[in-house]
């Protein structure tokens, strides 16, 4: 069971997720401290490590639009967040896959902060409202990268399998 810790609308840009003024910080161990920096209450929860791994951000259409900064995915991956959105911007989605950030495409999702979600490969069940929503699964090759923890661990695993 995963708890919704933040809900957002459409067209959430990478600058909202990881503001450009923090671009000097690029280490995945440090980027989480700037996740949604302009949303003070949420950002403080990230900094204080108050969010359980697997906590969910629910968003609308075009989540991660804007620049190609991979820190926007990195800062969400650090605390182990799951992003459920109606749709993702193409570059953000690929960055998320490459970094192993769990993203769930769920075009009809409806949830509020505090709702409990059960997420599977095929559906999201909002246990609070009792409604079920279909998931658009990632292609198998992309899902394998996420499951491995990102592109580097996936590649390392594949290379070791060849030996």
pLDDT tens track for 53-111: 999 999 999 999 998 989 999 999 999 999 999 999 999 999 999 999 999 999 999 99
Burial per residue of 126-135, b for 16 or more beta-carbon CB atoms within 10 angstroms, e otherwise: beeeeeebeb
Is pTM beyond 0.85? Reply is yes
CA distance 145 to 148: 5
Strands 102-105 and 123-126: unpaired
Q: Check residue 85 and give its pLDDT.
A: 98
pLDDT tens track for 117-156: 999 999 999 999 999 999 999 999 999 999 999 999 999 9
pLDDT tens track for 100-116: 999 999 999 999 999 99
CATH second-level architecture of 2-137? Alpha-Beta Barrel (3.20)
């Amino acid at each position: 069971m995963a708890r919704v810790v933040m809900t957002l609308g459409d067209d959430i840009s990478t600058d909202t997720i990881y503001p450009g003024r923090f671009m000097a910080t690029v280490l995945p161990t440090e980027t989480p401290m700037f996740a949604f920096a302009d949303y003070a209450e949420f950002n403080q929860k990230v900094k204080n490590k108050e969010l359980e791994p697997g906590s969910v951000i629910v968003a609308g259409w075009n989540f991660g639009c804007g620049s190609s900064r991979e820190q926007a995915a990195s800062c969400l991956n650090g605390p182990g967040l799951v992003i459920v959105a109606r749709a993702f911007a193409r570059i953000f989605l690929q960055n998320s896959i490459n970094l192993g950030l769990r993203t769930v495409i769920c075009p009809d999702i409806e949830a509020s902060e505090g709702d409990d979600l059960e997420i599977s490969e095929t559906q999201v069940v909002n246990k609070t409202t009792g409604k079920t929503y279909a998931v658009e699964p990632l292609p198998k090759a992309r899902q394998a990268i996420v499951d491995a923890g990102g592109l580097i661990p996936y590649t390392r695993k594949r290379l070791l399998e060849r030996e």
